[in-house]
Structure 1
Amino acid sequence: MKTFVFTAILFCSIPLLAQKPLDTIYANDTKNVALFFPEPIRQGITGSDNFVFTFNREKEQHLGLLQAKPGKESNLLVINKNGAIFSYIVKYRAKLSKLNYFISNSSSIGNENRAGTDEIDTDDINEIPVNKSHNYERFSAYLLNQKTNGALKRKRNNGVVLSLESIVFDKEELYVVVEIKNNSSMDYDVNFLNLYIETRQKGKRKSLQRIYKEPIYKYQLPSKIKEGSSERLVYVLPKFSISNERRVVLEVNEDNGERNIKMKIPHRLINNPN
């Protein structure tokens, strides 16, 4: 009965707009995956017993901890003190590349305080702020529907091909369009796909400084690429530029495998997007 009531509240809460694909959070049974929410957590529910989400029920806190046992994927639903609703796909993964997630308000899929509202005053529609993530999703989908004139850069490793198709500037964001093609006879499990900025340190002891560039939105990032198939995706980043002493590195890492690829992207491609 509780599940039915909770689900009904959720569906009533979500605005009548196209919903963005749910992000995926990976966890295992040896480490705590920490989720920091913008407001204190009031309620957290997982859809399967092989996932456990814990938070302080006596003292309001922004922190929740997720653990998982091997099994099928499930979902996590979290409600903040202010009624904001957050929903994620959760999967078990033995090897984790990320242990901390800082959740922003823009990640909310709706607010339960809108439950019970059967009608929307059309005079107020224009006053509802457009969700940026919805814009990211629409423009990313548009980019993937466009024909490409060939890759800007391409790199291979044992039948797996990483291609940088385009870098597009729109408003205040850079959209990085990527294709991963698996020409091998074995499925490719994606552990992570990251972007870094590399800076060569001058001096007697030359070193390489690498700074992780956090995307603000990921569109259609696959977890697995079947043999003989390919997947295209988009990473959205805040607009930035780099000097000629720096470069961007795009890295795709195979889960439980060694077919890893690092692609160096020169500053001219970053500073002169489409």
Structure 2
Amino acid sequence: MKKLIILLSLVLFYPVHATNTKTLDTIYANSTMTMTLFFPSDIKQGITGSEHFVFTYNREKEQNLGLLKAVKGNPSNLLVVTTDGKVYSFILKYAEHLENPNRFISIQESIGDAKRVLTKEVKIYDNPNTSISANTIPNHIRRSCESLLELPERKNKHIKKNGIKLSLKNMYYREDHVFMQFEIENKSAIRFDFDFLKISKVSGNKGHNASYQEIPLETIYVHNKPSEILPNTKVRMVYVIPRFIISKTERIIVRLQELKTTRILYLSWR
């Protein structure tokens, strides 16, 4: 149960000195326009409560500019902490049309002050073909991966080909990351030598080159990456990638490639 709480507590909470009780304002967003939010001070941390909404800001150089996008789904919330310790909270809702895609936020909209100093941002590793070791990756990401491997499966998207079965068993959002748990089962009589697994966001149809677009999603960390899967065995691993949203016209494609052979599997879902 303790490990379950680690995964399900997917939002950083900061104790706040509330100045007064305020009714939270609502900010609307969608996938076709970018809602631009200007804060009185530079953004230190920004978190949304649902995968339907994605809030991005400059993590390399602190700025007061934040960008919000969304896909259709239930309302959620946005929590932002600025470098001067001010805390801002808003209700988030999806809207088909935005009357004004820009919002200037005043310091009077702050709900209070953070009690403690915020921790440093998690470093993102850019090479998708490099498996980061457990000694290098931040401990909270590694522990979340370990916990995810012990949880019951919530998804069962899979594909079978040439005696190999690739399945997506779980997918969780935590802060700015997505944790995807995959299972590879070898039902063939031949050993499967793992080469790579790549995750991409795709729109359009590959048969129509003008409309087809494939965007690789960088891999931050691979937990329990196998080198081989023996016959009649299976292995589970967790891929950590940056948080993303999917529009109605997009889908996720996962490519599993065996080393030095033609055994390739494509797993797709929306």
User: TM-score w.r.t. structure 1 length?
Assistant: 0.47
* Larger RCO (CA within 8 A; separation ≥ 6): 2
Higher helix fraction (1 or 2) = 1
User: TM-score w.r.t. structure 2 length?
Assistant: 0.48
